[in-house]
Amino acid sequence: MEHRTRRHIALWLFICSAMVFATLVVGGVTRLTHSGLSIVEWQPIVGIVPPLTRGQWDETFEKYKQTPEYQKVNHQMSLDEFKGIFWWEYFHRVLGRTIGIVFLVPFLWFLLRHRLDRGLVARLWGIFLLGGLQGAMGWYMVKSGLVDDPRVSQYRLTAHLSLAFVIFTAMVWVALGLRAERERAAPGTARAGRQKAGAWIAGIAFYMIVTGGFVAGIRAGKAYNTFPLMNGHLVPPEIMLIDPWYLNFFNNMATVQFDHRLGAWILAFLVPWFWWRLRAAGESPRVRAVATLVLLALAAQIALGIATLLMQVPVALGAAHQGGAMVVFGLILWLNHELRAVPARH
C-alpha cells in the first residue's frame, strides 16, 4: 500500500474516532439530562427527519406520554420542555448514524479502487459491523426504560458505553498502525516487560470505563459525595448489603462507586510509576512525551472526577468526565502503540 494512501486512510479513521468521541459526550449529556427515553421508536432511516410542524410535535409528544417515564416522572411536562429533552436524544442518534455514513462511504471508495490490503479490509468490515451492533445495542438499552421502571438497565447502558470504547479502540489502533513508518522491532526481555505493563494499564483503564458505566447506570454518583473517604469510611459498611453477594458489584451504589474509585487509585499510583520507568529505561523522546501526556490527562481526569462527585454530578462536569475517559484511554492506546513500534534505546 502506498505511503500516501496509508496516511489518507489513517486520517479518515482519526476523523471517525473524533466523531465517536463527540457522540460519547452528547450521549453523556443525554443521560444526565434524562433525555434518552424521549424518542420511543427506532427508525434508522426516516428517524433522521425530526418533527417539523406543530402537528408532528404533538404526535411525537403523545407517544412519549404513553411511556412510564412521562406518567410517573414527567406528567407535568409541557411541549416546550419535551422539546428540550427530545433534541439531545435526537442529536445523539443522528451523530451515530452520521458516523456510519462517514465510515462506510470512504471505505467503499477505497475498496472499489483497490487501495486496501486484504487484512485491512477484514479489520474495517469488523469495525463497520461493530458500529451496526452499537446502533442495535442503543435501541436495546432504550427499550429497557420503556417498561414499568422508567430507567434504562445499567447492564445495557454499560454494554452500550463499553462497545463505544471498543469501536474507538479499533479505529485508533488501526489508524496508528497505518501512520507508523517504522517496522515493529523484536523486543528484548526488558522491553517486553514495559509492553506488558502498558497493556495492564490499558486493561485497568477499561475496567474504569466499565465500572463508570455501572456508576452512571444506577446513579451512584449521587451518593457518597465525599472524598477521599466514602462518608467517613475507607470501605463503606454497605458494600456487601445485597444477597446474593455478586449482585453488589452491579446494583449496590456503595460497591459500584467503591470499585470505580479503586480503579482510579490504582491508576493514580501505576501511571506515575510507569512514566518514571520509561524515562529510566532510556525510551525514545517520543515515547516519553506520550507518557507525559497520559500522566497529565489522567491527573486532569481524576481531578474532574472528584469535582463531579463532590458537586453531585452536574451535567457539564459529568459529560466532561465521560469524555475525559476517552481522551485518557486514547492516549494510553497511543503509548502502547509507540512501545510496540519504536525500538528501545539502550
Give tens-digit pLDDT for 122-167: 999 999 999 999 999 999 999 999 988 888 999 999 999 999 999 9
| 181, 214, 247 - which closes a domain | 181
Are 123 and 202 within one domain?
no
Region 160-187: what's the mean pLDDT? 85
Residue 344 scores a pLDDT above 50: no
pLDDT classification of 346: cutoffs 50, 70, 90: very low
Give me the domain span that covers residue 165.
1-181
pLDDT band at 189 (very low <50, low <70, confident <90, very high): low
Instruction: List alpha helices for the chain, DSSP H.
Output: 3-32, 54-65, 68-72, 79-112, 118-143, 154-179, 189-217, 248-251, 253-280, 285-310, 315-341
pLDDT above 70 covers a percentage of the chain that reads 95
pLDDT at 57 over 70: yes
Q: CB neighbours (10 Å) of residue 327?
A: 17
| Same domain for 341 and 224 | yes
Quote the number of domains for the chain: 2
Q: Are residues 158 and 18 in the same domain?
A: yes
Q: Cell numbers of 239, please? A: 458494600
Q: What's phi and psi for 233, nearest 5 deg?
A: -125, 140
Shared-domain flag, residues 301 and 155: no
pLDDT in tens, 267-312: 999 999 999 999 999 899 999 999 999 999 999 999 999 999 999 9
pLDDT greater than 50 at residue 345: no
Which pTM was predicted?
Answer: 0.93
Domain end marker among 157, 181, 205: 181
* Residue 334 in this model has a pLDDT that exceeds 70: yes
**Domain boundary at 118, 149, 181, which?**
181
Q: Residue 259: is its pLDDT beyond 90? A: yes
